[in-house]
Amino acid sequence: MNDLSNKHIVLGLSGGIACYKAAELCRALVKAGASVQVVMSEAATQFITPVTMQALSNRSVFTSQWDDRESNNMAHINLSREADAILVAPASADFMAKLLHGRADDLLSLMCLARPIAQVPLILAPAMNREMWQHPATQRNMSQLKADGAFVLDVGQGEQACGETGDGRMLEPEEILADLIAHFQPKRLAGKRVLVTAGPTFEMIDPVRGITNLSSGKMGFAIARAAQEAGAQVTLVVGPVSLPTPRGVQRVDVKTALQMQAAVSPLSDSSDVFIATAAVADWRVESPTDQKIKKDGSGALPVLAFTENPDILAGVAQSKRARSGALYCVGFAAESHDLLEHATAKRQRKGVPLLVGNIGPATFGQDDNALLLIDENGSKALPHAHKLDLARQLVAEIAQRLSNSH
Ligand code: CTP
């Protein structure tokens, strides 16, 4: 997905070993559809050459406020006026200290100071040694920069170039990219707590076998990401899938339907929205054996007795919180045919205000989907699109219904 198409990003590099990651970041921004203008401090050019950054951004790099390529000789004004965002990655301790004081003795700091503060967000990806990061001066500078309107991204944790281990590494390029994409999404669910279930469940037969289904979890993960981008605090309760956790989302891994219910139940008490996308097994084996079931050579077949799993969504939808309107419940229906009819009936049966229908066999494991939204007013189709695109549309639809009900 070209999440940054039509966006012009000024990528600033201040001096630090994390400059090597800025090359990958630049490439990721371009791949996501952005046009990228690189501006480097003199110190940054000690770590990575402007030639590399020019080749990756396909634009010549600016390093000096005295650069006479601009006809008005005001690179700091022109560059900052064109930008949809200025992203400084890496932002060194020294550069942040400089910004804090409004100093402007090189092009990068001059451009940050000269940016139209209400229109052009300044996003900083700090990178430094752990002692420098923890130093009260850096922490003080960072709080003040936030108060002055800058967006300061998290730092990573782990091994550092200096050989020490701790907080202060620059985030990885794909993490910075995800944060930047999220930055541009409208904050429709700001302050809301959203609980999502995703993936299949796995019901044990014996210690080595089980029953599961073809749900990939992709739609639920896309919804969790879209809700997080929209400003919500998101918890994702997920059956056995190996998808990466979306940035900023809290993940709880479970295996069986009973475990999923045990995880969901307390979390639903403190959520504003519950979105059940998980393909929960309808039945589980009544008495899974502790030991592997062996063939005894006689050709006798094992006999499995089943019992019904609890309906997690219907249970939450019947809770006091949901019935009072404090918790908005959204169900999913994976059908193979007659989508409108089955999904409408399922909405009634589950007792939820909004039910989202999709054709299961057509979507399991795919990156695309099409959705049919059913609520008390009727149905609305969200046509075929990438799952993340649909997830953002669904989040907008949910936010709209939340604001209508208040
Ligand atoms: N669901 C749930 N717990 C279950 C079964 C389903 O929370 N034990 C939720 C799913 O996450 C989904 C919705 O209920 O949001 C619909 O699930 P689905 O399996 O399609 O519906 P069923 O009620 O099982 O009906 P059927 O299998 O007959 O289509």
pLDDT value at residue 404 = 87
Encoded tokens for 35:
């046009």
Residues in contact with 244: Cβ distance below 8 Å, sequence separation at least 6, in sequence order: none
* Mean residue pLDDT across the chain: 96
Query: Ligand 1 centre and the CA of 398: distance in Å?
Result: 20
**Rounded to an integer, what distance in angstroms lies between the CA atom of residue 298 and that of residue 301?**
9
- Any idea what the Cα angle at residue 124 is, between residues 119 and 125, rounded to 5°? 145
144 pLDDT more than 80: yes
pLDDT value at residue 296 = 87
pLDDT value at residue 405 = 81
pLDDT value at residue 361 = 80
Domain boundaries, the chain: 8-184, 193-404
**Rounded to an integer, what distance in angstroms lies between the CA atom of residue 403 and that of residue 329?**
15
Compute and round to an integer the Cα radius of gyration of the chain.
26
Query: Ligand 1 centre and the CA of 360: distance in Å?
Result: 12
Other C-beta atoms closer than 10 Å to the C-beta of 201 total: 29
**DSSP three-state, residue 42:** coil
Q: Is 281 exposed, middle or buried (0-12, 13-18, 19+ CB in 10 A)?
A: buried
What band does 367 get if pLDDT is binned at 50, 70 and 90?
very high
Chain segment 188-198, per-residue pLDDT in tens = 999 999 999 99
Encoded tokens for 114:
């000269």
Its pTM stands at 0.94
> To 10 degrees, the CA torsion angle through 253, 256, 260, 263?
-70
371 pLDDT more than 90: yes
Over range 49-71, report the average pLDDT.
95
363 pLDDT more than 90: no
Q: Which of 69-73, 165-169, 179-183, 314-318 has the lowest mean pLDDT?
A: 69-73
Measured from the Cα of 282, ligand 1's closest atom is: 8
Residues lining ligand 1, Cβ inside 6 A: 197, 257, 276-278, 280, 282, 309, 311-313, 331-334, 346, 350
**Beta bridge mates, 369:** 385
Over range 129-139, report the average pLDDT.
97
**DSSP three-state, residue 294:** coil
Query: Ligand 1 centre and the CA of 363: distance in Å?
Result: 16
**DSSP three-state, residue 134:** helix
Measured from the Cα of 257, ligand 1's closest atom is: 8
**Which CATH superfamily, name and number, covers 193-404?**
CoaB-like (3.40.50.10300)
What band does 362 get if pLDDT is binned at 50, 70 and 90?
confident
**From the candidate CATH numbers 3.40.50.2000, 3.40.50.1950, 3.40.50.970, 3.40.190.10, the one assigned to the domain spanning 8-184:** 3.40.50.1950
CB 206 within 8 A of CB 228: no
Residues in contact with 49: Cβ distance below 8 Å, sequence separation at least 6, in sequence order: none
